[in-house]
Amino acid sequence: MLEYKDYVYAVYQERSFSRAAQKLYISQPWLSSVVKKVEQEVKAPLFDRSTNPISLTEAGRYYIEQVEKVTAIEEDMRRYFAELHVENGKELHIGSSMFFCTYVLPRLMDEFRALYPDITLTFSEGSTKSMVDKMLHGKVDFLLEAERIHDPQIETMAWASEEIVLAVPARFAINRELAEYCYSFDSLLKRNEPGRKKPAVPLQRFQDEPFLMLKQGNDIYERSAALCRKAGFEPRITMYLTQMMTAYYLTCEGTGVSFLRSTIPEYVTPTDSVVFYQLDDPLAIREIYLSYPRRKADAVQRKLVDFMGSKALGEEI
């Protein structure tokens, strides 16, 4: 009954025996005989040949509905066994900022690779906009970034939260006035231990200092500018930068004050050339999001989603 389903379905799609025969690279008489054989088997005509173009009979509509169900099941089976076959040889592409690609993801993915050693991971650096475009074109499987993606084709989940702190060159005189708020490199890393916490600094005390800011359009820029405005001043920006790590190293060199993610000291060499201050404002805490195509994830992609969800969701990084 379903042996010739593809031939019947082609006639249904083309609404013509001649066009269906051309599409299938077979002769029209042979196609007509195949359809007639199916109709004899089901004991009912599938097509009304008196209409132009030909149309389905009631029996034909039922037949096509069942064919589509069978085809969907067959496709699911092919996909399942294809994934089963390549599951241990899959390559996943993760897009993110330079900071995550250089410092966070390699360490985090070492654990993932230990669990799934045959899965190859590729990191791609770039702006959120460029990474989203690549994802929509199938070139990136995941995006890890501090921006929620608003696109109906993309699924986004909150993965972790991070703190934004103020980094100040250690040689700046203002640090002596604000010693009660000031964290050294080491004490910032231990700030959540009992008795280590210091009060948040009054940000307006830095209104006369030179600021290094990421370029406009960056989430950190928007938050930094808003934090300063809420503190009652416009920052005196002496330099715009594209990378947060550049801002960090220039701060260490004494160039100016910068807003940075508090996790940077976990990944770089300790130094006495910079100090840090915490900020008491909701803007100083932001979410990190894991985004991926909304289409049904295959088995390997699901492994990474589940792994990332188990590692940092709801935690501060």
pLDDT at 1: 61
User: Two tokens at 259?
Assistant: 């807003």
User: What are the tens digits of pLDDT across the range 93-138?
Assistant: 999 988 888 888 888 888 888 888 888 889 988 888 888 888 888 8
Mean pLDDT calculated for residue range 26-42: 91
As beta bridge partners, residue 142 has 94
User: What are the tens digits of pLDDT across the range 229-287?
Assistant: 999 999 999 999 988 999 999 999 999 999 999 999 988 999 999 999 999 999 999 99
User: Two tokens at 303?
Assistant: 């492994």
Q: Greater confidence, 67 or 276? A: 276
Cβ-defined contacts of 239-245 (< 8 Å, 24+): 239/212, 239/213, 240/213, 240/214, 240/215, 240/216, 241/212, 241/213, 241/214, 241/215, 242/214, 242/215, 243/98, 243/99, 243/214, 244/97, 244/99, 244/214, 244/220, 245/98, 245/99, 245/102
Phi, psi of 305 (to 5 degrees): -60, -45
In sequence order, the 6+-apart residues with CB closer than 8 A to the CB of 185 are 265, 270, 271, 272, 274, 275, 276
Is 316's pLDDT higher than 50?
no
Count of positions (residues) in the chain: 317
Half-sphere exposure of 21 (CA within 13 A, CB side): 13
pLDDT at 89: 53
Cβ contact 267:222 at 8 Å: no
Mean pLDDT calculated for residue range 40-47: 92
Cis bond upstream, residue 53 (ω within 30): yes
| Residue ranges in 116-215 assigned as alpha helix (H) | 128-136, 174-177, 185-189
Q: pLDDT averaged over the chain? A: 88
pLDDT at 300: 76
Instruction: Give the span between the Cα atoms of 305 and 142, in whole angstroms.
Output: 9
As beta bridge partners, residue 94 has 123, 142
Phi, psi of 288 (to 5 degrees): -110, 130
pLDDT band at residue 296 using 50, 70 and 90 as cut-offs: low
pTM of the prediction? 0.66
Instruction: Give percent of the chain above pLDDT 90.
Output: 52
Least Cα distance to 259 among 267, 241, 247 occurs for 247
Q: Greater confidence, 91 or 178? A: 178
Question: Angle of helix 58-86 relative to helix 5-14, nearest 10 degrees?
Answer: 120
**Do the strands 142-145 and 120-125 form a parallel or antiparallel pair, or are they unpaired?**
unpaired
- CA distances 41 to 2, 7, 31, Å, are 10, 15, 16
- CA distances 248 to 46, 126, 253, 266, Å, are 72, 19, 9, 13
Half-sphere exposure of 79 (CA within 13 A, CB side): 11
Give CA 279 to chain center in angstroms. 28
- Coil, helix or strand for 139? coil
Q: What is the CA radius of gyration of the chain?
A: 30
